Amino acid sequence: MGKSYLSFTVAVILQALDNGYQYGFDIMDVTGLPSGTVYPALRRLEEAGYVGSKWEKHTIAQAAQRPPRKYYELTKEGKEALAEAVQRYRILEQTQAQPPPKPKPSRAQ
Amino acid sequence: MPGHDRHKRRVSRPHLWLIALAGVIVPRRLRADWRQEWEAELRYRETLLAEWDRLDWRSKFDLLWRSLGAFRDALLLQPRRSEDKMFQDFRFGARMLLKQPAFTLIAVLTLSLGIGATSAVFSLIQGVLLTPPPYQQPERIALITTARTDGQQTSGPRGWPAAQWLEWQKEAKSFEAIAAYGWTFNFLVLEDGSESLEGMFVTKDYFRVTGLQPALGRAFQDSDTVTNAPPVVILGYDLWRRKFNGDPNIIGKTIRISRRDTPPTVIGVMPSGIRFLPAPSAAKEPNYNVNAQVDFWTPAAPTPESLKQPFWNVVGQLQSGTTLDAAQAELAVITARQAQANRDFTGFTARTQSLTDEMNRDGRRILLPLLGAAALVLLIACGNVAALLLVRGLQRQQEYAVRCALGAGRVALFRQVSTESLLLALLGSALGVGLAFGVVKLFKLIGGHAIPRLDAVTTGWPVLACGLGAAVMAALLAGLLPALRAARLDPMIALKDAGPKSSAGRGERRMLRGVTMIQTALTLALLVSAGLLIRTMNNLSKVQAGYNTGKILTMSVTALQRDNRERVAVHQRVLERVSKLPGVESAAFAWGVPLTGNNWPFGVEIEGQPAPSKPSDLPVLPARSVTEDYFKLLGQALVAGRNFRSTDNRDTPDATNVAIINQAMADRYFPQANPVGKKFWGFGRNNPPTEIIGVVANGRTDDLTKAAEPEIYLSMWQATPFTKHLLVRTTADPRALMSSVQRELRAIDPTVAVENLKTLEEIRGDSLASRSFAMRLLIGFSIVASALTLVGIYGVLSLSVAARRRELAIRTAMGAGRRDILKLVLGEGLRLIAGGVAAGLAAAIALSRVLRSFLFEVEPTDPVTLITVGLLFVGVALLACWAPARRAVKVDPLEALRYE
């Protein structure tokens, strides 16, 4: 994934991550993108080094009696790529000033 | 991954089922994490919705909808599955191969020989057989040839009268277009020695049928063929480049060619690579070569007075969807009707042939058996490498067992071993392709006359592609068995054995023996084929041709058209001056030098023979035209009558046309009588008769492999060919006289074209080129195959001796002598070889039938060849057994038993 060829969709996902939406489903909620787009994009971004992933603490998951969730974070390269993408897709600027996320399940998309 | 396995997966909801289902196709390495991520998200969301009391059907549908996206996610992870494992396997395989460089080198070299041979022959096939001619839709182009209605062989090639094909053009619905053409030649007049040109005269539909368009200028139009139209010519690309330096302004210029009063104007230049269409009636012309590139095209149209003369070759473009058979059936109906209406057309019917099939006939005859031979070499090489890999697998059993015990699956082990074979094959292919490039160059050097259109063969992507294909096949053939054995290994048994195995068990030895026997059989098949061709060439060298080919220089000579008196004077002056050159014994002109395929098909009515009832019954005999010294020069004895004289000349008053016939003709047509003084008529009794003045001894002039057929010799001063050969008998090496003879010719006529300088021995060699090329190639392949098989036999026996070390030691300890041990090991070797040889002889009998058309005075099942080759191979193979047998004798019983 070359820096200069970030698609708008990928830039939107990076922007969502930058805005604090770290889980796949949360990114879907906030961007409106389908799961079949968000997850493959996250994997490509991770492979390209723009995004890192970690597993949620085991104790939290255990308490909730479910497997640990995986969350994603922007890396330094990811931030640079996003800045560059924002320059190209000016519309992303409007989403930059959004309030911090409060994970809330959406209804059907 | 933090202990996700502690969470018991409750796959109770449809969305979770979907994740479980999609997870099946996720690469194994990533599967657990992948499933956990999706499950955790879905369950987290489900819990949250339940807590907020919003887990209604719409939310459930949303979860289901999101889970469907997991399939796309899983699908897009597929490349990682193969990539990762493949790279791992390749890395590991490369490391293992580097660890044993000697093994790797031998295996790679072995495979490269097989792959190189196959790729080289394939590149010939690609260039000659698989490259379509440069016509538009060549598969729709059909040649329309003549055949006798009674199914018998025509006595000579015959074309079509224009009156017939002009009707076909109007009536035949099976053809989109029909064109007529002929082969012609001329020569480009240059002041410093001319050059002969070979071209085609074509009707204007030729361009429609072939779909050809000039690269420069225009094609022929109706106006080019009307009476008194200014002569025009289209040049071939090669000629335009070679003689006119690719002049882009050539259109509109005139060129000076012989046999034309007005120099024709160039109206076009054709694209490169356009070759002749077959013109059987011209096939006996000295410069005829259907595989050559056309030098020029001239327009032609039938004239009213020649409508019935059968000299046109006809080609048609089939309607889309029409078959050759349907077209032939339609033409048969039309020709039958034409024959009923006109007696001149009786006895002949039309036969449609695919152009590409006809053009590839000779190439297929020689190249397909050679591809088969090359494939056998590849198979033998694969056999060797398979044996090497099997032995290597034995040595690595411990490693495989450990890897199995540590959790490597059988599939993984199979894949790993196969990857190593593939790596070996790829390395072999790289080297083999390099080898093929060199071999193709060699083929081009030695195969010039044996393979048609060899100049079109290039070494490029086809060789690479074939090399790669052969590599994959080799990897499969050589690697499958070892990989299967590795995958079926029982780790418990392997681990129980201490240390790596250096010898093989009974089962493995049996398998290796089987591989070696197959190799021996294939090698025998190749050796027998080579042996049969060697015998053929040997038989051919002993053939009594009936004339002497040694120390004779020949060259084709074409001079400007002149009136007969001047022409005879020029040619007699040439003979006089050349004969006086130092080192020259005698000189003669001839049209129809032996073994050049050059003669004149002469339809004759012979005195005393019944007149033919229809045109197809007219006997067609090969006629040649020679000067007085010709028979003396070739050493052909005159058995009756007299020789030609210089007075047998068209200009001599009251001179009759005279001819000398050969003994075969005398025997066939005058069995009881003396032919001298008898007459025959060329092309009907309306023409003046020719008197037979002598009988010459038989000579195999057309084909060394065929007994002499009836033939006629005419006096060159009466039958005047345009291009003819000058033959010079020399006292020493004829090649040394090439330049002095050419100098004499140019001194007499500076514009004369002197070409194709060859000795008669070389012409003889060219006439046997396809056989000698096949023989050389088969000898080469057989040597490689034999070497590989001998190495295989050596290897199997060495392994057997190593495996039976203990048994041998016990035998020695029990009193077996050196002789007994030698007998034991050599006996095993002999059984192995004899089995292979027996199978090989059976295979050879089956396969050598393919070579039948190349053989001469030797049968494909020739017992002498079969027995000699079989015995020779057994003898040489026993030598390969000698070293292992010596090793067996030297086994020290004490040491061997202690070791065990």
Each residue of B411-459: pLDDT tens digit?
888 888 888 888 999 999 999 999 999 988 888 888 777 888 888 887 7
Q: Find the mean pLDDT for residues B490-509.
A: 65
Check pLDDT > 70 for residue B123.
Answer: yes
From B47, which residue of chain A is nearest by alpha-carbon distance?
A: A64
Q: Does any CB of chain B come closer than 8 Å to the CB of residue A105?
A: yes
Write down the pLDDT at residue B253.
92
Beta carbons within 8 Å of A57's beta carbon, 6+ residues apart: A68, B2
Q: Does any CB of chain B come closer than 8 Å to the CB of residue A34?
A: yes
From A65, which residue of chain B is nearest by alpha-carbon distance?
A: B7
Write down the pLDDT at residue B617.
79
Here the tokens at position B302 are 């039938």
SS3 content of chain B, % helix, strand, coil (to 5): 55, 15, 30
Write down the pLDDT at residue A54.
93
Q: Does any CB of chain B come closer than 8 Å to the CB of residue A32?
A: no
SS3 content of chain A, % helix, strand, coil (to 5): 60, 10, 35
Cβ pair A66:B4 closer than 8 A: no
Q: Does any CB of chain A come closer than 8 Å to the CB of residue B22?
A: no
Chain A residues with CB inside 8 Å of B4's CB? Answer: 67-68
Check pLDDT > 70 for residue B366.
Answer: yes
Chain A residues with CB inside 8 Å of B61's CB? Answer: 108
Q: Find the mean pLDDT for residues B207-218.
A: 92
Q: Find the mean pLDDT for residues B468-473.
A: 85
Check pLDDT > 90 for residue B629.
Answer: yes
Beta bridge partners of B147: B349
Q: What is the pLDDT of residues B235-273, one digit of tens each?
A: 999 999 988 889 999 999 998 887 777 889 999 999 998
Give the 3-state DSSP-derived string for B701-733, with helices as H, strands as E and coil as C: CCCCCCCCCCCEEEECCCCCCCEEEEEEEECCC
From A22, which residue of chain B is nearest by alpha-carbon distance?
A: B41
Write down the pLDDT at residue B846.
85
Check pLDDT > 80 for residue B388.
Answer: yes
Write down the pLDDT at residue B103.
86
Nearest by CB: B36 against A37, A57, A67: A67
Q: What is the pLDDT of residues B527-564, one digit of tens each?
A: 999 999 999 999 998 888 899 998 999 998 887 766 77
Q: Residues B540, B545, B550, B553: is their CA dihedral positive or negative?
A: negative
- pTM for the whole thing? 0.74
Q: Does any CB of chain B come closer than 8 Å to the CB of residue A38?
A: yes
Check pLDDT > 60 for residue A100.
Answer: no
Residue A67, min C-alpha distance to chain B (Å): 5
Chain A residues with CB inside 8 Å of B60's CB? Answer: none
Check pLDDT > 60 for residue B842.
Answer: yes
Write down the pLDDT at residue B82.
63
CA distance B29 to B790: 46
Q: Does any CB of chain B come closer than 8 Å to the CB of residue A25?
A: yes
Q: Find the mean pLDDT for residues B353-360.
A: 91
Residue B38, min C-alpha distance to chain A (Å): 8
Check pLDDT > 70 for residue A98.
Answer: no
Confidence of residue B723 (pLDDT cuts 50, 70, 90): confident
Give this complex's ipTM: 0.87
Cβ pair B43:A66 closer than 8 A: yes
Residue B23, min C-alpha distance to chain A (Å): 14
Q: How far apart are the first and last CA of chain A?
A: 29
Residue B12, min C-alpha distance to chain A (Å): 13
Here the tokens at position A61 are 């998951």
Check pLDDT > 80 for residue B156.
Answer: no
Q: Does any CB of chain A come closer than 8 Å to the CB of residue B83?
A: no
Q: Does any CB of chain B come closer than 8 Å to the CB of residue A67?
A: yes
Residue B408, min C-alpha distance to chain A (Å): 27
Confidence of residue B281 (pLDDT cuts 50, 70, 90): confident
Check pLDDT > 50 for residue A105.
Answer: no
Cβ pair B68:A35 closer than 8 A: yes
The helix/strand count (H/E) of chain A reads as 6, 2
Cβ pair A105:B59 closer than 8 A: yes
Q: Find the mean pLDDT for residues B202-220.
A: 92
Confidence of residue B410 (pLDDT cuts 50, 70, 90): confident
Cβ pair B62:A107 closer than 8 A: yes
Nearest by CB: B4 against A28, A67, A107: A67
Write down the pLDDT at residue B9.
42
Q: Find the mean pLDDT for residues B96-117.
A: 89
Write down the pLDDT at residue B10.
44
C-beta separation of A6 from A84 below 8 A: yes
Which amino acid, B248? P
Most confident of B84-98, B858-872, B883-897: B858-872
Q: Which of A34-48, B25-39, B445-459, B500-514 has the lowest mean pLDDT?
A: B500-514
Check pLDDT > 70 for residue A97.
Answer: no
Beta bridge partners of B523: none
Q: Which of B503-517, B716-730, B809-823 has the lowest mean pLDDT?
A: B503-517
A–B: how many Cβ contacts below 8 A?
93
Chosen for mutation from A25, A29, A71, A109 (greatest number of chain B CBs closer than 10 Å) is: A25
Residue A97, min C-alpha distance to chain B (Å): 26
Which of the two residues, B815 and B215, has the higher pLDDT score? B215
Q: Find the mean pLDDT for residues A47-65.
A: 88
Chosen for mutation from B25, B44, B60, B63 (greatest number of chain A CBs closer than 10 Å) is: B44
Residue B43, min C-alpha distance to chain A (Å): 7
Nearest by CB: A107 against B3, B36, B59: B59
Check pLDDT > 60 for residue B49.
Answer: yes
Residue with tokens 């939107």: A12
Here the tokens at position B760 are 């008669």
Chain A residues with CB inside 8 Å of B32's CB? Answer: none
Q: Which of A98-102, B469-473, B495-499, B768-772 has the lowest mean pLDDT?
A: A98-102
Q: What is the pLDDT of residues B649-674, one digit of tens each?
A: 888 777 789 999 999 999 999 998 89
C-beta separation of B591 from B625 below 8 A: yes
Cβ pair B45:A25 closer than 8 A: yes
Check pLDDT > 70 for residue B137.
Answer: yes
Write down the pLDDT at residue B328.
94
Confidence of residue A1 (pLDDT cuts 50, 70, 90): very low
Q: What pairing do the DSSP bridges indicate for beta strands B265-269 and B232-235?
A: parallel
Which of the two residues, B13 and B347, has the higher pLDDT score? B347
The vertex-B290 CA angle with B285 and B294, nearest 5°, equals: 100
Write down the pLDDT at residue B899.
57
Q: What is the pLDDT of residues B328-355, one digit of tens each?
A: 999 999 999 998 888 888 888 999 999 9
From B45, which residue of chain A is nearest by alpha-carbon distance?
A: A105
Sequence-distant contacts of B13-20: CB under 8 A, at least 24 apart: B13/B42, B13/B46, B13/B60, B13/B63, B14/B64, B14/B67, B15/B42, B15/B60, B15/B63, B15/B64, B15/B66, B15/B67, B16/B42, B16/B43, B16/B67, B18/B64, B18/B67, B18/B68, B18/B70, B18/B71, B19/B67, B19/B70
Write down the pLDDT at residue B291.
87
Write down the pLDDT at residue B498.
53
From B4, which residue of chain A is nearest by alpha-carbon distance?
A: A67
User: Torsion-angle region of residue B398: left (phi > 0), alpha (psi -120 to 50) or beta?
Assistant: alpha
Q: Does any CB of chain B come closer than 8 Å to the CB of residue A88?
A: no
Neighbouring CB atoms inside 10 A of A3's CB total 12
From B11, which residue of chain A is nearest by alpha-carbon distance?
A: A66
Mean pLDDT of chain B: 87
